[in-house]
Amino acid sequence: MNILVPIKQVPETSNVKMDPSTGTMIRDGVESIVNPLDLYAIETANQLKERHGGKVTVLTMGPPSAHKALREAIAMGCDDAVLLTDRAFAGADTWATAYVLARAIERIGGYDLILCGERATDGDTGQVGPNIAAALNIPLATYVSGIESVDTGRGEMSVWRMTEHGYEQLLLPLPALLTVVKEISFPRLPTLRGKQRARASEIPAWGAGDLGAEADKIGLKGSPTRVVKIESPKVTRGGTVVKAADGPEQAVDQLVAFLRGRDLV
């Protein structure tokens, strides 16, 4: 079972510090990491490979330094990696990103399954996975929380997908694309041997020319959307804080009065 995992390098947002005086994000010293939600896709791919054979290839579009994210995936057990990097890719929105990833996936070929994280923790869109499935015209299941069965002989798999009401089970012919949620697996840590392999791996870098990408479909030019403004909303609300130690009943009274004042009880 050959599996492709498109991943993204993101800033380490869970430790983002805000400057209280300006309300802006402190970017100094913010490290780049593999999108935490992609780790579940990587882990799931590695588990499927262990059960059904084949190999796992990770790919990412980004600056040349994004090879670090790919090496981290190799250290977790992935076999191969491809870096998609070109100045012409810069400024891509989800559409133009998915276009490049889909072209690269066509060039790699021979895959049974594509696994994506639910979304990236920086852009938070969750669009690139469904975008890629549409570009390749392969079956799609999003928000997959579990794999029920894989039948490599028949070339199909059955998965559970989250909905507002619980879960639904879908049967998909392969090749297919899944976006997976955290519930699906527990990512393993990189091993020492994996790290050694990651350091030694040759990672090919493909540009627009290698992919035969059309110039009006990549980078800023190929992106229908434009970010026109970025604001930093103020986080602090400066509400009332009372101490239960000064009298728990009074604290609860004040709270209930507050809720009533807001029409919440």
Site for other proteins, residues 72 to 101, rule: CB under 8 A: 93-95, 98
Size of site (CB under 8 A) for other proteins: 87
User: Given the complex with other proteins, which of 42 and 74 has the nearer CB atom?
Assistant: 42
User: Given the complex with other proteins, which of 74 and 159 has the nearer CB atom?
Assistant: 159
- According to CB under 8 A, which one of 28, 31, 202, 249 is a site residue for other proteins? 249
> With binding defined as CB under 8 A, does residue 256 bind other proteins?
yes
> With binding defined as CB under 8 A, does residue 235 bind other proteins?
yes
Output the smallest distance, CB 67 to other proteins, in A: 23
Output the smallest distance, CB 208 to other proteins, in A: 18
**C-alpha separations of 1 from 45, 57, 149, 230 in Å:** 9, 11, 13, 43
User: Given the complex with other proteins, which of 24 and 196 has the nearer CB atom?
Assistant: 24
Do the beta carbons of residue 115 and residue 102 sit within 8 Å? no
CA-based angle 111:64:38, to the nearest 5? 45
Q: How many residues does the chain have?
A: 265
> With binding defined as CB under 8 A, does residue 161 bind other proteins?
yes
> With binding defined as CB under 8 A, does residue 226 bind other proteins?
yes
Of the ranges 65-73, 84-92, 119-127, 194-202, which one interacts with other proteins (CB under 8 A)?
119-127
> With binding defined as CB under 8 A, does residue 230 bind other proteins?
yes
Per-residue buried b or exposed e for 95-111, using 16+ beta carbons within 10 Å of the residue's own CB: bbbbbbbbbbbeeeeeb
- According to CB under 8 A, which one of 109, 153, 166, 209 is a site residue for other proteins? 166
Residue 169 to residue 152: CA distance in whole angstroms: 18
Closest Cα partner for 240 from 222, 264, 253, 258? 258
Site residues for other proteins, window 124-153 (CB under 8 A)?
A: 124-135, 139-143, 145
Dihedral pair phi/psi, residue 116, rounded to 5°? -120, 155
> With binding defined as CB under 8 A, does residue 168 bind other proteins?
yes
> With binding defined as CB under 8 A, does residue 12 bind other proteins?
no
> With binding defined as CB under 8 A, does residue 188 bind other proteins?
no
> With binding defined as CB under 8 A, does residue 259 bind other proteins?
yes
Supply the DSSP symbol for 9: E
Do the beta carbons of residue 159 and residue 144 sit within 8 Å? yes
Token pair of 256 as six digits? 């209930």
Residue 3 to residue 55: CA distance in whole angstroms: 6
- According to CB under 8 A, which one of 122, 191, 196, 205 is a site residue for other proteins? 122
- According to CB under 8 A, which one of 25, 90, 215, 220 is a site residue for other proteins? 25
**Alpha helix ranges (H) inside 11-61:** 38-52
Site residues for other proteins, window 26-65 (CB under 8 A)?
A: 36-37
Do the beta carbons of residue 38 and residue 65 sit within 8 Å? no
